[in-house]
Amino acid sequence: MSQQQNNLNPQSEAHLHGPLFQNTLQNFDEAAKIINCDPNVAARLRKPRRSLTVSVPVRMDDYTVKVFTGYRVQYNSTLGPYKGGIRFHQNVDLPEVVGMAALMTFKNSVLGLPLGGAKGGVCVDPTRLSRTEKQNLTRRYTSEISAFVGPNKDIPAPDVGTDPQTMAWFMDTYSHEQGGYAQPGVVTGKPVEIGGSLGRNHATGLGVIYITERAMEVNQMQMAGSRIAVQGFGNVGSFAAKFAHERGARVVAVSDVTGGIFNGDGLNIPEVIEYVKQNKGVKGFPGSQEITNEQLLEVECEALLPCALEGQIDTHNAEKIKAKLIIEGANGPVTNAATKILDKRGIFIAPDVIANGGGVIVSYFEWVQDIMSFFWEEADVDSKLKAIILKAFDHVHKFKLEKNIDMRTAAMAASIARLEKAMLLRGLYPR
Ligand code: GLU
């Protein structure tokens, strides 16, 4: 039965669909076919379980009240409590959050974590808020979704525009609403002083580099001396650039919202990080040539690491990419159609659900440590992260070679296979 015949009321869910979710569903349908996924399971996995939209009134510094819109989408909880980040960004809307929540579901499954998938966000430009306004926004958003989250229900984490401080406010607000008892396990990515995990802050960037090294290895390349370009210099991109630099790679280009910088001999990344602290962006870094974000993607290099937002590489620029490897630090940076073009051109893509999985893997560790109230050494965290992320990569890569398909389809297929088994075991309620 085609999806259209299967869908008795297609209009009713139009408001959930945006480009990211459509891409994910295309990828899903292709992968489901390859593994012969049970059609009843596939039909359930194509839809979010529930989507919450909330109004978030915030007292601004000038004493006016502004009302923002927030979301929390709980996509699937077959494998465990819902898990996924919270994004503060001016482009956040319900379809984007649905797409991200779907990706989280497939990410947690392919990584082998005992977690379901969710995502949240508020439509706001956080760079235009004062610290007090951001705190007010975070606390009220937390309060609005607090009935739906909890250490055994749904555990948020940072994403674009949120950070450990935001998670601390989230944890504090939720704890107050639970009678004032500290509830560290409700959120991950917290500062270590209040139940965060060592190694969580750099986890996504470190995972990206573990995957870059492995992708290089299976493609007969090596990190030392290779040229790397990184789009996005936030939590993911800046740590990925730092770890690549430490391993002897030449990071030739990086970029952020202020633009891009290039140096063919390699940028001094620790100095770029210091420069960004002082200047709020990479633009103008001494000894570099100015490039645009668009040009950064087309730089001559061994590995391109898109670590910013979704939809950066699509059919308009896929032919112009010169990298040999693309490691997706962001969620959804390469569209499905672009994946096909790049795959034909022999460009190897390590897909988001594996490549940026370091964040949620160490979130999982943080949640476990909070529940046990027993905390691990940083070296322990890093090595356990490495074991889990490389195991997922190797499993998917083997499947890719067996079936002669691209890595994105292989990762989705492995993810669906695990979810399918679990869903068939749990069955349908009532039946
Ligand atoms: N926001 C991150 C992601 O997209 C981390 C999610 C988490 O740690 O729960 O994977």
Q: Is 359 in the pocket of ligand 1 (CB under 6 A)?
A: yes
Amino acid at position 409, single letter: T
Taking 90 as the threshold, does the pLDDT of residue 14 lie above it? no
CB within 8 Å of 389: residues ≥ 6 apart: 111, 207, 210, 211, 354, 357, 358, 361
Q: Point out the catalytic residue in the list 83, 107, 119, 242.
A: 119
**C-alpha 395 – ligand 1 centre gap (Å):** 21
pLDDT per position as a tens digit, 344-353:
999 999 999 9
Summarize the confidence of residues 126-131 as an average pLDDT: 98
| DSSP summary character for residue 124 | S
Q: Is 331 in the pocket of ligand 1 (CB under 6 A)?
A: yes
Amino acid at position 310, single letter: E
pLDDT per position as a tens digit, 331-386:
999 999 999 999 999 999 999 999 999 999 999 999 999 999 999 999 999 999 99
Tell which residue, 231, 273, 228, has the closest CA to residue 256.
231
Averaged pLDDT score across all residues of the chain? 97
Amino acid at position 64, single letter: T
pLDDT at position 279, please? 97
Q: Is 260 in the pocket of ligand 1 (CB under 6 A)?
A: no
pLDDT at position 292, please? 97
Nearest-angstrom CA–CA distance, 215 and 56: 43
The tokens for 323 are 């990298």
Contact yes or no for 182/175 (Cβ under 8 A): yes
**C-alpha 20 – ligand 1 centre gap (Å):** 16
Q: Is the whole model's pTM more than 0.95, yes or no?
A: yes
Ligand 1 atom with the shortest distance to the CA of 155? 9
pLDDT at position 75, please? 98
pLDDT at position 4, please? 47
Tally of CB atoms within 10 A around 152? 11
Q: Is 363 in the pocket of ligand 1 (CB under 6 A)?
A: yes
Tell which residue, 200, 125, 118, has the closest CA to residue 163.
200
Q: What percent of the chain has pLDDT over 70?
A: 98
Summarize the confidence of residues 399-412 as an average pLDDT: 98
The tokens for 340 are 């096909």
Contact yes or no for 104/77 (Cβ under 8 A): no
**C-alpha 54 – ligand 1 centre gap (Å):** 21
Summarize the confidence of residues 229-246 as an average pLDDT: 98
Nearest-angstrom CA–CA distance, 92 and 90: 6
Ligand 1 atom with the shortest distance to the CA of 100? 4
Taking 80 as the threshold, does the pLDDT of residue 418 lie above it? yes
Q: Is 228 in the pocket of ligand 1 (CB under 6 A)?
A: no
At residue 260 the predicted structure's pLDDT band, cuts being 50, 70 and 90, is very high
Tell which residue, 312, 339, 322, has the closest CA to residue 406.
339
Active-site annotation holds for 403:
no
Q: Is 369 in the pocket of ligand 1 (CB under 6 A)?
A: no
pLDDT at position 431, please? 87
Length of the chain: 431
Ligand 1 atom with the shortest distance to the CA of 357? 10
Taking 50 as the threshold, does the pLDDT of residue 8 lie above it? yes
Taking 50 as the threshold, does the pLDDT of residue 148 lie above it? yes
The tokens for 39 are 């059609």
At residue 10 the predicted structure's pLDDT band, cuts being 50, 70 and 90, is low
Helices (H), 267-311: 269-279, 293-297
Instruction: Tell me how far apart the 2 most distant CA atoms of the chain are, in Å.
Output: 66
Q: Determine the angle formed by the axes of helices 358-372 and 203-218, rounding to 10 degrees.
A: 130
Taking 70 as the threshold, does the pLDDT of residue 3 lie above it? no
259-262: strand order across its sheet: 289-291, 259-262, 250-256, 227-231, 303-306, 325-327, 348-350
Ligand 1 atom with the shortest distance to the CA of 85? 1
Ramachandran class of 17: left when φ > 0, alpha when ψ lies in -120 to 50, beta otherwise: beta
Number of C-alpha atoms within 13 angstroms, CB side, residue 194? 21
Q: Is 84 in the pocket of ligand 1 (CB under 6 A)?
A: yes
Which domains can be identified in the chain, with CATH numbers? 14-194 (3.40.50.10860), 203-355 (3.40.50.720)
At residue 6 the predicted structure's pLDDT band, cuts being 50, 70 and 90, is low
Tell which one of 79, 105, 159, 361 to mutate to probe ligand 1, the residue whose CB is within 8 A of the most ligand atoms: 159
pLDDT at position 413, please? 98
**C-alpha 118 – ligand 1 centre gap (Å):** 9
Summarize the confidence of residues 44-62 as an average pLDDT: 98
**C-alpha 360 – ligand 1 centre gap (Å):** 5
pLDDT at position 71, please? 98
pLDDT at position 13, please? 84
Q: Determine the angle formed by the axes of helices 19-34 and 407-426, rounding to 10 degrees.
A: 80
Summarize the confidence of residues 249-275 as an average pLDDT: 98
pLDDT per position as a tens digit, 308-321:
999 999 999 999 99
Tell which residue, 182, 55, 196, 66, has the closest CA to residue 134.
66
Q: Is 188 in the pocket of ligand 1 (CB under 6 A)?
A: yes
Closest residue to atom 8 of ligand 1, CA basis: 360
The tokens for 217 are 């290895």
Closest residue to atom 10 of ligand 1, CA basis: 360
Q: What percent of the chain has pLDDT over 90?
A: 96
